[in-house]
Amino acid sequence: MKHTILIAEDDRDIIELLTLYLSSEFTVQSVTDGAEALEAIRAGGVSLALVDIMMPGLNGYELIQRVREFSNLPIIILSAKSMETDKVLGLNIGADAYITKPFNALEVVAYVKSALRRYYQLGADSAPTAAPRVITVGELELDTDKFVLRKNGLIVPLTSTELKILAEMMRCPGRVFTRAQLYECVGGTFYESDDNTMMVHISNLRAKIEHDPASPRYIKTVRGLGYKIEDQ
């Protein structure tokens, strides 16, 4: 069964271009309005959304915020807004990646494939010796089958990217992961320009799982190396 990609974009030329490149491997659905995109996602069946920022109805930021109230669906922003603050805002509100226009359509396809592979295989159990579906570190319990994190029994809402980063670290408490290793675990090749992106994801995770994000109990920074999670 093919994955369904939703393109939320008000530029029909871009819709046609992306549809051309994606339709050979995926079912493609498109809307030109943010409100219509929200309805399509609520209706179910969408595997991943490609979202423009400047749209009528709901803009991309508003759309992502609304979706994150009920779903961890992978979302990739495609936007002409190229300021670093725009990228940080998009990631902060729950996008998994931010691609600026003009873009290479093949690069977008690569991002889509990586996001789908990582998201839908995160809890895959392909062999009897597969990793446990529920990983526990301190008060944190991550169900990699249902894509749900609980802290003291209460669900903590995470984006798909945050889930993948946290799962990678929770599987190996105490191990130091470089930013490049963590970026690869969410399906991308690390470039120096992505350094701030990973810092934003880590900051968002701390804000959601730590009692005091300024003095984290779980996710520790190892200066000059990267990050690790500790079970104290």
What is the per-residue pLDDT across 51-73, written as a single tens digit (0 to 9) for each?
999 999 899 999 998 998 888 88
pLDDT per position as a tens digit, 105-153: 999 999 899 888 877 765 433 333 344 578 899 999 998 777 789 999 8
Q: What's the number of domains the chain is made of? A: 2
CATH classification at residue 163: 1.10.10.10
Q: How far is it, in rounded angstroms, from Cα 112 to Cα 194?
A: 17
What percent of the chain is modeled with pLDDT above 90? Answer: 46
Task: State the CATH number of the domain containing residue 79.
Answer: 3.40.50.2300
Name which of 197, 7, 188, 167 is nearest 91 in CA terms: 197
CB 72, CB 122: distance < 8 Å: no
Among 69, 86, 121, the domain-final residue is: 121
For the chain, give the percent of residues with pLDDT over 70: 90
Asked whether 126 and 167 are in contact (CB, 8 A), the reply is no
Give all strands of the β-sheet with 219-222 in edge-to-edge order.
Answer: 177-178, 226-229, 219-222
Domain that holds residue 162: 134-229
User: Are residues 11 and 112 part of one domain?
Assistant: yes
Residues 106 and 153 reside in one and the same domain = no
Q: Is residue 50 part of a domain?
A: yes
**Pair (75, 99) in one structural domain:** yes
Q: Are residues 142 and 204 in the same domain?
A: yes
Reported pTM: 0.59
Q: How far apart are CA 146 and CA 39, in angstroms?
A: 23
Do 116 and 8 lie in one domain? The reply is yes
Give yes or no: residues 37 and 103 share one domain.
Answer: yes
The answer to whether residues 85 and 148 belong to one domain is no
CA distance 4 to 16: 16
Which pLDDT value is given to residue 24? 92
Region 203-219 average pLDDT:
93
188/151 same-domain check: yes
Average pLDDT over residues 75-94: 87
**Position 127 in a domain:** no
Do residue 17 and residue 104 come from a single domain?
A: yes
Do 163 and 208 share a domain, yes or no? yes
